[in-house]
Amino acid sequence: MIVAAKSRLGLLEQFDPCQTFGKVTKVVGLIAEGHGIRAPLGSVCHLIPENAKPIAAEVVGFRDGACLFMPYADMRGIGPGSLIRNAATPPHVPVGNALLGRAVDAFGDPLDTKGPITPETFVPLHRDPPNPLERPRICDPLDVGIRSVNALLTLGKGQRVGIMAGSGVGKSTTLGMIARYTKADINVIALVGERGREVVEFMERDLGPEGMARSVLVVATSDKSPLIRMRAAYAATAVAEFFRDQGKDVLLMMDSVTRFAMAGREVGLAVGEPPTRGGYTPSVFSHLPQLLERAGKSATGSITGIYTVLVDGDDFSEPIADATRSILDGHIVLTRELADLGHYPAIDVLRSVSRLRSDIVTSQAQADGQAMLRHMATFKRVEDMVNIGAYQKGANAEVDKAIAMVAPINGFLRQQVAERESLDSAMEKLHSLVADNDQKGQPGAKANQPGQQGNAQSPRFQTAKPQQVKRVPIPPSAIPVTRS
């Protein structure tokens, strides 16, 4: 109640009881210029065409004494002389428990057919991230139901992580599994810039009735204005903040940060910003930390953020992937190579990392994870030699262990969509797998005893053993006799 009252007081402080009007003087591309009206950056005004419904537009900049407006909808009907009316309230989002199980747009209006939503209160769309000195340390693990993540990339309540992948390798399916199987109290899911048909597919196939019942879905499809796509990301974050302030552990999932950045690029280029890396404008790299830093742990609850990053051409060093990787607390990489092999989830654990895993798991679990990753890295180093038959078994004990572990590890990392693996069960299976291999691998350690040929650290350059020559005795009659 106190938090809701503070939110309403904050909105009242920004309330402007006097409406002012101006006129449109120019329309170029996505931007309308207006004179005679004073409005701050980020405020919402209404462009009023003749004999038509007013069009909401946001102030995105100023030029030569004119306000630059970008509309939330198509500007058909707007022309020179059209009236501009400022809105009385700042951008806000309706929130409340009535949002659970519902799909809404960037303004909090329902998209489904379940009737109107009665909000408990309204919160500002934009909010400063929490004070860094008021953020508690993250020390509690979050069960997400995926074996490879729970065991090797363990996440904590309040952690922020990115799922980085190209198109068509299972990002949405992985998000759906996490939303369905997680132990978080509430899911808030933002679908930013997605194709329209994928929304229902995600709700029915990936999320399912069980996951949807405790989820809030905020949707802005690819055909919407770039401002609406950006607003959907901010609105989902504001909804998650509301539930966090209620003492809930919230899982905030956003698909995708890349399309949020693309929308920001459209806005920046429209107002005249210069393009930089990858064609993105400077404001994009300012918006990213402002959005991502709002997730995290507070004294009352937590927001665990999982953000997908659509990498262009499977290039994991492209600008948005680099920027988000530097902000987040870890990243989960999905590769096309694993997806092509039918390995799902297509998580490459060697290229993925959870920066908080060592703080939230036991020392035994940490050692087990390091042992498995060491076996995987060893096999990856000699995989080409094994495939062409250039590696001889027994030349290196560690390599022999790694080769023997390939099939069990792959079986451990694979998981069906309908299968849930709890955190405790995943840790037990990880320990059992590593312990069994250590016991079986002890006799094989004799392969590299001192005095034998070969280099244990570099199986690529093993020295071949010299062949022994069998001596055959020669009979005396076969020896020629020289007569003088």
Q: Which helix (H) or strand (E) holds 325?
A: helix 319-327
Q: When comparing pLDDT for 154 and 37, which is higher?
A: 154
Q: Which CATH number fits the domain 8-90, given the four candidates 3.30.390.30, 2.40.160.10, 2.40.30.20, 3.40.50.2000?
A: 2.40.30.20
Q: What is the mean pLDDT of residues 173-198?
A: 92
Please tell me the least confidently modeled range out of 40-54, 238-252, 279-293, 458-472: 458-472
Quick one: how many helices (H) and strands (E) in the chain?
14, 19
Radius of gyration of the chain from its Cα atoms, rounded to whole angstroms: 30
Tens digit of each residue's pLDDT (9 = 90 or more) over 356-394 = 999 999 999 999 999 999 999 999 999 999 888 888 888
Q: What is the mean pLDDT of residues 115-134?
A: 92
pLDDT at 116 over 90: yes
pLDDT at 12 over 80: no
Answer yes or no: are the C-beta atoms of 184 and 153 closer than 8 Å: no
Tens digit of each residue's pLDDT (9 = 90 or more) over 428-475 = 999 999 988 766 655 444 434 333 333 333 333 333 444 444 444 444
Answer yes or no: are the C-beta atoms of 102 and 112 closer than 8 Å: yes
Q: Please tell me the distance from the alpha carbon of residue 472 to that of residue 377, in angstroms, as a whole number.
A: 48
pLDDT for residue 439: 67
320: number of Cβ within 10 Å: 27
pLDDT for residue 451: 38
230: number of Cβ within 10 Å: 26
Domain ranges of the chain: 8-90, 93-358, 365-446
User: What's the longest Cα–Cα distance across the chain?
Assistant: 137
pLDDT for residue 5: 52
Domain at 365-446, CATH class: mainly alpha
pLDDT for residue 76: 86
Answer yes or no: are the C-beta atoms of 308 and 345 closer than 8 Å: no
Q: With bands split at pLDDT 50, 70 and 90, how would you rate the model's confidence at 18?
A: low
CATH number listed for the domain at residues 93-358: 3.40.50.12240
pLDDT for residue 362: 94
pLDDT for residue 392: 87
Looking only at the bridges linking them, the beta strands covering 44-48 and 296-297 are: unpaired
pTM listed for this prediction: 0.84
